[in-house]
Chains A and B, each alone.
Chain A
Amino acid sequence: MTRGSRFRNFAIGSPMVWIAVFVVVPYLIVVLFSFLTRNPEGIVTWILTLENYRELFSPVFLKVCMNSLVLALGTTVLTLLLAYPFAFILTRIDENIRRFLLVLMIIPFWTSSLIRTYALIILFKANGLLNTFLLSMGLISEPLSILYTETAVFIGLVYTLLPFMILPLYASLLKLDRRLMEAARDLGATSRHVFFHIVLPLTLPGIIAGSTMVFLPALGLFYIPDLLGGARSMLIGNFIKNQFLTTGNWPLGSAASVMLTLLMVMLLIWFFISTRRVHSGDMEAVR
Chain B
Amino acid sequence: MEKAPIVRLREVTKRFDDVVAVDALNLDIFQGEFLTLLGPSGCGKTTVLRLIAGFESLDKGEIIMNGVPLNGTPPNKRNVNTVFQSYALFPHMTVYDNIAFGLKMKQLDKSLIREQVEEALSIVKLLGMEQRKPHQLSGGQQQRVAMARAIVNKPQVLLLDEPLSALDYRLRQEMEIELKRIHRKLGITFVFVTHDQEEAISMSDRIAVMNQGRIEQIGTPTRIYEEPENMFVAKFVGEINIFEGRITEIYNGSATVDIHGQPFKVLNRKNFTTGEHVKVLLRPEDLIVTRDEDSRPVPPSLGGVIDEVIYKGKTVDLIVSLDAGESIFVTQFFNEDQEDVIFQQGQRVHVDWPYGWEVVL
Identify the A interface with B (CB < 8 A): 177, 179-180, 182-190, 193, 197-198, 201-202, 278, 280-287
Q: A284 contacts B135, CB within 8 Å?
A: yes
- Complex Cα distance A180/B166, Å? 17
Q: A187 contacts B153, CB within 8 Å?
A: yes
Closest CB in chain B relative to A184 CB, distance in Å: 7
- Complex Cα distance A180/B101, Å? 12
Q: A201 contacts B102, CB within 8 Å?
A: no
- Complex Cα distance A85/B243, Å? 62
* A180-B88, A287-B86 known; A187-B135 Cβ under 8 A: no
* A193-B105, A281-B133, A285-B135 known; A186-B91 Cβ under 8 A: no
- A-B residue pairs, 4 tightest by C-beta: A281-B133, A187-B102, A188-B105, A183-B88
Q: A186 contacts B81, CB within 8 Å?
A: yes
7 A-B pairs with C-beta separation under 8 A: A182-B55, A182-B88, A185-B76, A186-B76, A186-B150, A187-B105, A281-B134
- Complex Cα distance A177/B91, Å? 10
Closest CB in chain A relative to B59 CB, distance in Å: 20
Identify the B interface with A (CB < 8 A): 53-55, 74-76, 80-82, 84, 86-92, 101-102, 105-106, 133-136, 142, 149-150, 153, 166
- Complex Cα distance A180/B153, Å? 17
- Complex Cα distance A198/B166, Å? 24
**How many inter-chain residue pairs (CB < 8 Å) link A and B?**
83
Q: Which of A186, A188, A282, A287 contacts B53 (CB 8 A)?
A: A186
* A284-B135, A285-B135, A286-B135 known; A185-B74 Cβ under 8 A: yes
Closest CB in chain A relative to B348 CB, distance in Å: 53
Q: Which residues of B contact A193 (CB under 8 A)?
A: 105
Q: Which residues of A contact B91 (CB under 8 A)?
A: 180, 202, 281-286
Closest CB in chain A relative to B159 CB, distance in Å: 9
Q: Which residues of A contact B150 (CB under 8 A)?
A: 186-187
Q: B134 contacts A286, CB within 8 Å?
A: yes
Question: In the complex, which residue of chain B has the Cβ closest to the Cβ of A187?
Answer: B102
- Complex Cα distance A281/B153, Å? 25
Q: What would 19 more interface pairs be, CB under 8 Å, given A183-B88, A286-B134?
A: A179-B84, A179-B86, A180-B88, A182-B88, A185-B55, A185-B74, A185-B75, A185-B76, A186-B55, A186-B80, A186-B81, A187-B105, A188-B153, A189-B105, A197-B90, A197-B101, A281-B134, A286-B91, A287-B166
Closest CB in chain B relative to A183 CB, distance in Å: 4
Closest CB in chain A relative to B325 CB, distance in Å: 48
Q: Which of A184, A278, A281, A282 contacts B101 (CB 8 A)?
A: A184
Q: A188 contacts B106, CB within 8 Å?
A: yes
Question: In the complex, which residue of chain A has the Cβ closest to the Cβ of B100?
Answer: A187
Q: A177 contacts B88, CB within 8 Å?
A: yes
Q: Which residues of A contact B149 (CB under 8 A)?
A: 187
Question: In the complex, which residue of chain A has the Cβ closest to the Cβ of B135?
Answer: A284
* A193-B105, A281-B92, A286-B86 known; A186-B142 Cβ under 8 A: no
- Complex Cα distance A77/B234, Å? 63
- Complex Cα distance A133/B134, Å? 57
Closest CB in chain A relative to B94 CB, distance in Å: 8
Q: A179 contacts B76, CB within 8 Å?
A: no
Q: B92 contacts A202, CB within 8 Å?
A: yes
Closest CB in chain B relative to A5 CB, distance in Å: 37
- Complex Cα distance A284/B92, Å? 10
Q: A286 contacts B84, CB within 8 Å?
A: no
- Complex Cα distance A30/B21, Å? 68
Q: Which residues of B contact A186 (CB under 8 A)?
A: 53, 55, 75-76, 80-82, 150
Q: A183 contacts B86, CB within 8 Å?
A: no
Q: Which residues of B contact A201 (CB under 8 A)?
A: 92
Closest CB in chain A relative to B161 CB, distance in Å: 10
Q: Which residues of B contact A284 (CB under 8 A)?
A: 91, 135
- Complex Cα distance A183/B55, Å? 10
Q: Which residues of A contact B166 (CB under 8 A)?
A: 287
Q: Which residues of B contact A202 (CB under 8 A)?
A: 91-92
* A177-B88, A180-B88, A278-B92 known; A188-B76 Cβ under 8 A: yes
